[in-house]
Amino acid sequence: MAALRRAVFLDRDGVLNHDRGYVSRPEDFEWLPGVMHALRALQRADWALVVATNQSGIARGLYGPAEYANLTAWMHSELARHGITLDAVYHCPHLPDAPLAAWRRQCDCRKPAPGMLRRAARDLELDLSACVMVGDKPSDIAAGRAAGVAACIRIADAIDHVSCDIADPPADFTCANLAEGARWLLEHEQRRHA
C-alpha cells in the first residue's frame, strides 16, 4: 500500500485572496502578496495543496454554483500559469438558515465542522495527523482541530491579531500572510528532520 500523503489545507478568502466578502468573480479576486511563491515552495516540499472554503454566498443566493465553478476554474488556470497544481478544492455551499431551501442544511462540511478535511483525507489518501490547516478565522482553526491535524496556522493582520478573542481556539502559529506561514512550516520540518 502506498504511504499516506500529507496536505496543507488552505482556506481561500483571506488566505489566498483578499477577503472582500462573497467574492464570486475573477475580476474581484485579488491574490494576496507572496501566495504563488509560498504555494510553489510547499508543493516542491511534497505537500498536497487542498483548498477548503465555506461558500455560504451560494446558500444566500448571492451567486450560483455555476459562478462559483467558473471562479474556481479561473483560479486553477491562474495557478497553473505559475506552475502550481491544487490537488483538490472543496467548498461548502450550505447554511443552516439559508434563504434558499435547496442549500438549507445543518451539514458536516461548513467549517468549523471538519467534513471537507475528512472528505479530502478519504479522496486523496491523506494522513490527517500529518496535515496542516491554514486559515484566517477561528472556524478554520476549529475545523483543523476537529480533524486532528498536526498544526494550525492563523493568518491575521496586526489589528485582527490584537482583537483575537480569548475564546478563539489557539493556533500553533499566527502570522501576517501565507508566505510567513509556509516559511514557518518548512523551517519547522527541517528542524524536525535535522
Rg (CA), the chain: 16
Q: Which helix (H) or strand (E) holds 57?
A: helix 56-59
Smallest distance from Mg ion to CB 38, Å = 16
For cell 483571506, the residue is: 14
Residue nearest to Mg ion (CB): 14
- Secondary structure letter of residue 95 according to DSSP: B
Q: Applying CB under 5 A, does 136 fall inside the site for Mg ion?
A: yes
Rounded Cα distance between 120 and 88, Å, is 8
The span of 9-17, 79-87, 112-120, 121-129 binding Mg ion (CB under 5 A) equals 9-17
Among 6, 12, 91, 110, binds Zn ion (CB under 5 A): 110
Q: Which three cell numbers stand for residue 47?
A: 505537500
| 14 binds, options Mg ion, Zn ion, none, Cβ within 5 to 8 A by partner type | Mg ion
109 lies in the site for Zn ion, by CB under 5 A = yes
- Dist. CA 128–CA 83, nearest whole Å: 26
Partner touching 149 among Zn ion, Mg ion, none, CB below 5 to 8 Å by kind:
none
Which residue in 7, 11, 55, 143 binds Mg ion (CB under 5 A)?
A: 11
Q: Closest by alpha carbon to 46, among 123, 127, 114, 115?
A: 127
Tell me which residues touch Zn ion (CB under 5 A): 92, 94, 107, 109-110
Residues binding Mg ion (CB under 5 A) = 11, 13-14, 136
